[in-house]
Amino acid sequence: MAKLRPHFVLFGDSITQQSFANEGWGAALADLYSRKADVFLRGYSGYNTRWALLLLDKVFPKVSSSAPEVVTVFFGANDAALPDRGSQQQHVPISEYKENLHQIVSHIKGNSETTVVVLITPPPVDEVGRRVYARSGELPERTNEVTKLYAQACKDVAKEAGVPVIDLWSLFQQTQNWQQAYLSDGLHLTPRGNRVVFEELVNVLNCRPYLTADELPMDFPPFSEIDWKNPSSIFQAKE
């Protein structure tokens, strides 16, 4: 497709992959930016940052003309799986997680310094909610205590790399009953949880006026501006 609009890329794990379902934050973004930006879904269920590195050259090739304007990087929920429980194969040690996030940010920025990279921390884990998904008798594969460390590491990377971050781990827990309000299974998001991600992302974009939905131009004139007796005039004028 011809590039008619800025490109926003949502890069992450299942919480990103599912962001067009269930009143999802990805769909809400695409709706807010309809006529103004194209939103690309690059969510990979189950992926951690180690595997995300293996996708970088393909998802973000070094062709500057195709560099996106905005990228959300939303990994950590799988890296934080405990190394001695049911999802051990997804575990990535925290020091490697930090290094991998840095590599992701610098790869994207290396293609285009002007790309806005937004890090998002993993959401908090509700262990009671996760227990339903563990096999009978098993302990949950993630704990909130450990995920907190990954969320902090994500914030550290954002600070070190000088990019914005959405601290979902902390934000969710400011609400009483966050476990049910924001999480559907102790890890993935309810419509309300999706709403928080969407609103926080819009807040980040609103700090960059040229990227707000209000300021970005429509790709073609609103129909109310078309002279219906000479419709081609406004299209020619825009060329």
Applying CB under 8 A, the residues found at the interface with a copy of itself are 1-2, 4, 7, 9, 17-18, 20-21, 23-24, 26-28, 30-31, 34-35, 38, 40-41, 43-47, 50-51, 54-55, 58-59, 61, 63, 66, 68, 78, 89-90, 220, 222-224, 226, 228, 231-232, 235
59-63 long-range contacts, CB within 8 A, separation 24+? 59/9, 59/11, 60/9, 60/107, 60/108, 60/111, 61/111, 62/110, 62/111, 63/111
The residue count for the chain = 239
Q: Are 220 and 168 in contact (CB under 8 A)?
A: no
Name the minimum Å distance from CB 212 to a copy of itself: 18
Decide if 14 is catalytic: yes
Determine contact, residues 39/12, Cβ cutoff 8 Å: no
Give the separation between CA 224 and CA 154, rounded to whole angstroms: 45
As measured in angstroms, the least distance from the Cβ of 170 to a copy of itself is: 27
Helix (H), strand (E) at residue 120: strand 116-120
Among 14, 34, 170, 184, the active-site one is 14
Minimum CB separation of residue 142 from a copy of itself in Å reads 15
6 burial (CB, 10 Å; 0-12 / 13-18 / 19+) is middle
* Residue number, 11 or 172, with CB nearest to a copy of itself: 11
Q: Which is nearer to a copy of itself, 173 or 190 (CB)?
A: 190
Q: Which is nearer to a copy of itself, 24 or 171 (CB)?
A: 24
CB of 29 or CB of 158, closer to a copy of itself: 29
What's the min distance (Å) between Cβ of 118 and a copy of itself? Answer: 17
Provide, rounded to whole angstroms, the least separation between the CB of residue 155 and a copy of itself.
25
Nearest to 192 by CA among 23, 15, 21, 12: 23
Helix (H) / strand (E) element for 195: namely helix 191-206
Which residue number, 46 or 173, has a Cβ lying nearer to a copy of itself?
46
- The β-bridge partners of 38 are 7
Q: Which residues are catalytic?
A: 14
